[in-house]
Structure 1
Amino acid sequence: MVYKLLALDIDGTLLRSNHKIDKETKEAIEYVKEKGVYVTLITSRNFASAKKIAKSVKLDDSILVTHSGSFIAQNVQEPIYQQRISKDDVRDIIHILEKFDCHIRIIHERLAVGNRVNQNHYLSAKMTLGIGDPLFYPVNFVETLSEYLEKKELSPPKIDAHFFNDEEREEARRILEDLIPNITIVRSTKCNFGIIPKSVSKAKSLKILGDHLGISVDSMVVIGDAHCDGEMIYQAGLGVAMGNAPNEIRRLADWVTRSNDQQGVSYMVKEVFRKQMRLQLKR
Structure 2
Amino acid sequence: MKLFATDLDGTLLNSKHEISKENINALKIAQENGVEIVIATGRTYADAKAICRQANICAHIISNNGSLAHSKNGEKLKVDTIDKKYVTETLGWFNDNRYFYEVSTAKNIFLPSNTKEILENDFYKAKTKNLSLSKYTVDEIVSLLFSQEGVILVDDINDIVNADLDYCSISAISFDEDKLSKGRELFGNHESLSLVVSHELNFELVNTNASKGNSLEHLANHLNIPLKDVAAIGDNYNDVSMFKRAGISIAMGNAKEDIKKICSYVSSSNDLHGVAHAIYKFMNNLKVESSTA
> Same fold by TM (over 0.5)?
yes
Show the counterpart of 1:281. Answer: none
Cα gap change, 1:191/1:71 in structure 2, threshold over 3 Å: closer, same or farther? farther
Amino-acid identity (%):
25
Q: Is the 8 A contact 2:5 2:40 kept in 1?
A: yes
**Structure 2 residue matching 1:110: 3-state secondary structure:** coil
> Match for 2:255: what amino acid?
A
Show the counterpart of 1:225. Answer: 235
- CA-CA distance at 1:126 after TM superposition: 6.0
Worse-matched range after superposition: 227-236 or 34-43? 227-236
- CA-CA distance at 1:114 after TM superposition: 1.8
What are the equivalent positions in structure 2 for 1:172-187 lying under 5 Å apart?
172-178=183-189, 180-187=190-197
- Taking the aligned partners of 2:180 and 2:174, their CA distance within structure 1 comes to 6
CA RMSD of aligned residues (A): 2.3
**Structure 1 residue matching 2:37: 3-state secondary structure:** strand
- Taking the aligned partners of 2:200 and 2:47, their CA distance within structure 1 comes to 12
- How many residues align? The count is 270
**Structure 2 residue matching 1:53: 3-state secondary structure:** helix
Cα gap change, 1:140/1:56 in structure 2, threshold over 3 Å: closer, same or farther? closer
Matched, 1:87 2:99: no
Task: Find the partner of 1:267 among 251, 257, 277.
Answer: 277
> Match for 2:187: what amino acid?
L
Worse-matched range after superposition: 181-190 or 72-81? 72-81
Show the counterpart of 1:280. Answer: none
Show the counterpart of 1:14. Answer: 12
- CA-CA distance at 1:118 after TM superposition: 4.7
Task: Find the partner of 1:127 among 136, 140, 143.
Answer: 140
- Taking the aligned partners of 2:86 and 2:161, their CA distance within structure 1 comes to 13
Cα gap change, 1:118/1:53 in structure 2, threshold over 3 Å: closer, same or farther? closer
Show the counterpart of 2:133. Answer: none
Show the counterpart of 2:218. Answer: 208
Deviations 1:108-133 (A, max 9, x none): 11222222235372575663473313
- Taking the aligned partners of 1:94 and 1:150, their CA distance within structure 2 comes to 8
Worse-matched range after superposition: 184-193 or 238-247? 184-193
**Structure 1 residue matching 2:110: 3-state secondary structure:** strand
> Match for 1:235: what amino acid?
R
- CA-CA distance at 1:76 after TM superposition: 9.9
Task: Find the partner of 2:25 among 16, 24, 27.
Answer: 27
> Match for 1:132: what amino acid?
F
Task: Find the partner of 2:67 among 65, 70, 91.
Answer: 70
- Taking the aligned partners of 1:75 and 1:29, their CA distance within structure 2 comes to 14
- Taking the aligned partners of 1:234 and 1:219, their CA distance within structure 2 comes to 13
Q: Is the 8 A contact 1:70 1:84 kept in 2?
A: yes
What are the equivalent positions in structure 2 for 1:33-52 lying under 5 Å apart?
33-52=31-50
- Taking the aligned partners of 2:70 and 2:49, their CA distance within structure 1 comes to 10
